Amino acid sequence: MFQRLLKIINEEDLEKIKNTKVLLVGVGGVGGFTLEALVRSGFANITIVDGDKIEVSNLNRQIISKESNVGKRKVEEALKKAKEINSSINIKAIDVFLTKDNFSEYIKEDYQYIIDACDDIKIKMELIKYAKKNKIKIITCLGTGRKLHPELLEITKLNKTFNDPLAKKLRYELKKENISLDIPVLFSREEAIKTDGMVGSAIFVPSVAGIMLANYIFLDIIKENNDD
């Protein structure tokens, strides 16, 4: 299935991609597209974590959602979709909301990359600390809701972000624990649209963000290969 991919990368690149262990936390608006991009790009060892179910309000932006699976578990539907694309991949689905208390029970494998596509500030903190402790590369996605311009997405370091309340909270919490802000993040330069009640969102920004997260580790692996 990777004949066309092998026109632009080599066999050694693809083999390294296949053998890379990736932890993806969150398979919603952002993470669902991340998973799709990973699977279609040769990643074959993926653990996904999400404790949510698919809701009607997800249909406008989440790639795993459709009318026929509303009410079903997100990780189960994400796993099923991934296997439909490539039945030979090794994908592990953990159907749980991570907390500080249960984190070590579920997150304990030797991953090479962590992709944080969740929206829980405490879990973002735990993932960053876990990555630093175990020398795992991590990229954290910041806010994509209430925005309409995917061209304003950017990958940078946490200490260089702006227009993002989630980034501000994360910086504050990390500083309290004396943890470096030199962390790769994906954020939007766009100022959020003000809304009342439910956070508004369209497919455009979360989908592109998800693909950018997958592309980030894809390119990092190829770069490492070419630098050897």
The domains of the chain are located at: 5-143+206-227
- The whole-angstrom distance between residue 166's C-alpha and the CA centroid of its chain comes to 15
pLDDT band at 203 (very low <50, low <70, confident <90, very high): very high
The three-class DSSP label of residue 155 is strand
Evaluate if residue 227 carries a pLDDT over 60. yes
Question: 90 falls in which pLDDT band (50, 70, 90)?
Answer: very high
pLDDT digits 0-9 by tens, 105-139? 999 989 999 999 999 999 999 999 999 999 999 99
**What pLDDT score does 195 carry?**
86
The residue-averaged pLDDT of 164-188 equals 96
Q: How wide is the angle at C-alpha 210 spanned by C-alphas 222 and 77, nearest 5°?
A: 110
What is the model's pTM? 0.96
| CATH superfamily ID and name for 5-143+206-227 | NAD(P)-binding Rossmann-like Domain (3.40.50.720)
pLDDT at 196 over 90: no
Indicate whether 198 pLDDT > 90: no
Q: What is the DSSP letter of 105?
A: H
Tokens of 62: 């989440």
Between CA 173 and CA 215 the distance in angstroms is 28
- Confirm if 190 and 148 have CB atoms less than 8 A apart: yes
DSSP per position, 160-215: G--S-HHHHHHHHHHHHTT--S--EEEEE-SPPPP-SSSPP--SHHHHHHHHHHHH
Looking at 41-184, list the stretches that DSSP marks H as alpha helix, in order from N- to C-terminal side: 74-85, 103-106, 121-133, 165-176
Mean local confidence (pLDDT), 30-56: 98
Cβ–Cβ under 8 Å, residues 53 and 98: no
Q: What's residue 197's pLDDT?
A: 85
The residue length of the chain stands at: 228
Q: Write down the mean pLDDT value for the chain.
A: 96
